Amino acid sequence: MKIAIDAMGGDNAPEAVVEGCLAAVREDAAPLVLVGVRPTLERELRRLGADPAELELIHADEVVGMDEPATTPLRRKRRSSLTVCAELVRDGRAQAMVTAGNTGAAMAAAMMIVGKIDGVDRPALAAVLPNRHGQTVLLDVGANVETKPAHLRQFAVMGHFFAREVLGRPAPRVGLLSVGEEEGKGTALTREVFKVLQQTGLNFIGNVEGHDVFNGEADVVVCDGFVGNVLLKGSEALASLLAERAGSEMVARLGDTEAVRNTSAALRRHNDFNEYGGAPLLGIRGGCFVTHGRSSAVGVQRTIRGAVEFCSAELHEKIRCQVAVMHEREQELLPKDEGGQV
Amino acid sequence: MKIAIDAMGGDNAPEAVVEGCLAAVREDAAPLVLVGVRPTLERELRRLGADPAELELIHADEVVGMDEPATTPLRRKRRSSLTVCAELVRDGRAQAMVTAGNTGAAMAAAMMIVGKIDGVDRPALAAVLPNRHGQTVLLDVGANVETKPAHLRQFAVMGHFFAREVLGRPAPRVGLLSVGEEEGKGTALTREVFKVLQQTGLNFIGNVEGHDVFNGEADVVVCDGFVGNVLLKGSEALASLLAERAGSEMVARLGDTEAVRNTSAALRRHNDFNEYGGAPLLGIRGGCFVTHGRSSAVGVQRTIRGAVEFCSAELHEKIRCQVAVMHEREQELLPKDEGGQV
């Protein structure tokens, strides 16, 4: 197994990325290959007290900027670290790629260079969020802003496997994000998707609401990328705001002691969703993890752990098989003229 | 001025509602009329050590349950406390109504009995959320799950007046909720609304993202009721979860002392969005505030304060005038065949 790291992508790259990689190699024995501007990476490793020979490096002399168009790694910068990472996965020289860089560009590189799993129309970006009893997989959180019922059904299948294989849930409860629990609640899209999800054979628990994402009622919550993105970004900002307020409240009530400051710092860390690790792009013929542009070394290390688990579970292979089975069943079930559509 | 209170609505009614009303009358000199089953209300007031004559009571012998259809106050239970509250506002005997009961039924009663402002097609439920520098008005949070650009424009106008008159922002910054800041980002709907909002003369700051709701970049954030509802409910649950976790973390690190327990309780209160007060339904010919079914007495009292401010600002009158002006301007600007549509 090999994980390709875009060492140049992200607001804190290459510093935080290289530091996270070094920790992953030393503490977790992660099998990494770092892709980026070799002299820069070597300098960074030396700065961290490491011998550059300790890590496998591949030179790529271009970098995709955070604000460049999503097509940059495909067109203008074909020698970028992001492009090279995707090519390594495509060619089987790596099983997953990890980047803290431009999300749109990463998704484009994964879809166009690595390629989609047969039968998956739209890969989905999944976020792993904390809930009262563990973690919830929310998807899609931004890969697709406008989706059809068949896409959401594929998201459900992919989320199911992610929750089962990576989060260790034996029979993941899959919920459909809506504005009321009853079947009739929601938009025309959610009402249609409700019916579609009932036919999947997944452990579909029906509609769930915004609060259910955090109260642990579902292991997987399926939604379109617009609402998922808003909920994810809103939650990240709210968690960060509340951690700051909790810190001020503690200092005001309990005094500005070292113990209070440490507790406050711990809360800020716990409320920093970046520290949970990056979002997997599911539906690709290999692993692709996009972590936050502002990720710290710890965030990068956690994302690498996620990528290793993903590859160990051979998740994309499981998704591929299930999607193929569903596709076949539909061809039988559906009226002939809709066979190719859903 | 008079505020009609549905004293029977909500999970904690009538206890918490009557207690909140008593505090509002005693501490804020709020001009209330409590509507409900008179003997029950009198007993509740006596239990709280009050003389029932201290508050104005109107008898209504039916109660709309939390799970009954939205049409209940209009059809099956025309003598419900909710129906009577709406009739008081319709008849000018009260300027606003407040309920902790069934949200759908409250909206239906407000729209059908009190009536919509001329030119407002869809009233919107607004939530006031905490942000880094103060508060953000998010609307719609659930009155409309499927909306057209003209509806979102009306939400923007109503949110503008609410932020200006009730939250005291002189020139409220109005943002459109989307998945990227650039004009082209989002769905077909948000792209169209972006153009519409540029023409309003409001202080439109363009697209905002989920995190901007909590970082204080906008005073008003406009969205359809589906995404707004998911974000509101998700945020409420997340805030509650994080307060609990902060409490455990504090006890573990700082010890289970009284000071720590008090700090933990304060955090839980601050993170309880119900305590911020209820959501106004904007676009009605009068005030209508819907507070959470689980509202405490403090939540009810805060909601009453909001209702008093709303009435003092004559908000629905200001919205009415602005909507009329916009409507007129559009009739001039638009091609003839679209005049009546947008």
- DSSP H stretches of helix in A166-296: 188-198, 212-215, 225-254, 258-270
User: What's the pTM?
Assistant: 0.90
* ipTM of the complex, rounded to two decimals: 0.90
pLDDT at A200: 87
Q: Stretch A227-232: mean pLDDT, rounded?
A: 96
List all residues of chain B from 205 to 234 with a beta carbon under 8 Å from chain A. Answer: 209-215, 223, 225-227, 229-234
CB contact under 8 A, B241 and A213: no
The edge-to-edge listing of strands for the beta sheet with B287-290 is: B56-59, B32-36, B3-6, B96-99, B287-290, B279-282, B124-130, B135-139, B220-222, B173-177, B203-208
pLDDT of A280 reads: 93
- Put simply, the answer to whether A253 touches B259 (Cβ < 8 Å) is yes
The band of A226, judged by pLDDT with boundaries at 50, 70 and 90, is very high
For chain B, say whether A79 makes contact (Cβ under 8 Å): no
Pairwise CA distance, residues A203 & A71, whole Å: 37
What is the distance between the alpha carbons of residues B102 and B339, in angstroms, rounded to a whole number?
37
Chain B interface includes A99 (CB < 8 A): no
Mean pLDDT of A328-332: 65
* CB-based contact A72:A64 (threshold 8 Å): yes
Residue, of B330 and B24, whose pLDDT is higher:
B24
Of A179-183, A214-218, B37-41, where does mean pLDDT reach its minimum?
A179-183
Q: How confident is the model at residue B331 (pLDDT cuts 50, 70, 90)?
A: low
In the predicted model, what is the mean pLDDT of residues A285-309? 91
Give the model's confidence band at A340: pLDDT under 50 very low, under 70 low, under 90 confident, else very high.
very low
pLDDT of residue B314: 83
Whether the predicted pLDDT of B95 surpasses 90: yes
pLDDT band at B338 (very low <50, low <70, confident <90, very high): very low
Q: What is the mean pLDDT of residues A81-103?
A: 96
Residues paired with residue A56 on neighbouring β-strands, in sequence order = A33
**Does residue B334 register a pLDDT over 70?**
no
Higher pLDDT, B9 or B339: B9
Assess whether pLDDT exceeds 50 at residue A257: yes
| Strand-pair category, B135-139 with B124-130 | antiparallel
Interface contact B233-A209, CB threshold 8 A: yes
Q: What is the pLDDT of residue B323?
A: 75
Asked if B84 and B121 touch (Cβ cutoff 8 Å), the reply is no
For A167-207, what is each residue's pLDDT tens digit?
889 999 999 999 988 888 899 999 999 999 999 889 999 99
**So what's the pLDDT on residue A239?**
94
- Of B180 and A227, the one with more pLDDT: A227
Q: Which residues pair with A208 in a beta bridge?
A: A177
Examine the pLDDT at A252 and tell me if it is beyond 80. yes
- Residue A77: is it exposed, middle or buried by C-beta count within 10 angstroms (0-12/13-18/19+)? buried
- Rounded to an integer, the average pLDDT of A27-54 is 96
Q: Compute the nearest-CA separation of B45 from chain A (Å).
A: 34
d(CA B290, CA B228): 16
| DSSP conformational letter for A3 | E
> Does residue A318 carry a pLDDT above 50?
yes
Contact A142 B179 (CB under 8 A): yes
Answer whether residue A244 shows pLDDT above 80. Answer: yes
Percent of chain A with pLDDT over 90: 73
